[in-house]
Amino acid sequence: MMIPGLKVVVPSNATDVIGLMAASVRDPDPVIFLEAKALYASKMDVPEGEIVDTLGSAKVLRQGSNATIVALGSMVPKALQAAAELATDGIECTVIDVRSLVPLDTTTILREVSATGRVFTVEENPRLCGWGAELASIIADEVFYDLDGPIVRITTPHIPLPAADALEDLAIPSVERIVSTIHKSMNS
């Protein structure tokens, strides 16, 4: 994210892989296209014909009034599942798929954070210097007075990501950890 001139894209589903890849290839600037290996086994129907998306556009995948969950890549399906579980307890969450870190769609993110007053980032990366830190900085600068609680980042611990599947699953945010973190923050 910090290197000027590079764009960074992270799709969370098959349709976005096609659309964002097409947009990346057509873009005049260099684009880093990151694929989440955890999503390789996921399947979905994609529309027929040419799909060309827009770089720098986040998608609101679910509307809610109590909190905003901002996720990227393989954390998007987990965020959606967590939002569905939280809804059964009366906590309605907006879920935003960031899709593009550079350019970052701050308009969509700030609008949704202002509407709910609470924000949680769900990141597959360690807490130190993650994309959520940059987003927290932007939110604090732009819409601090719209917040009803602290900005909460749900990340991996500051350790090298384990190679063993079971250990990797323990390090990466799970649906259960997302739900419990949001519950704890919303009820304190």
pLDDT score of 47 more than 90: no
The CATH number of the domain holding residue 159 is 3.40.50.920
**Domain assignment of residue 20, yes or no:** no
Looking at the 3D structure of the chain, how many domains does it have?
1
Contact between 56 and 96 (Cβ < 8 Å):
no
The answer to the question of residue 85 being in a domain is yes
pLDDT tens string 49-70:
899 999 999 999 999 999 999 9
Angstrom distance (rounded) from CA 24 to CA 103: 12
What average pLDDT does range 138-149 have in this prediction?
Answer: 98
The answer to whether 72 touches 105, Cβ cutoff 8 Å, is: no
Amino acid (1-letter code) at residue 67: A
Residues paired with residue 71 on neighbouring β-strands, in sequence order: 97, 122
Q: What is the pLDDT of residue 62?
A: 98
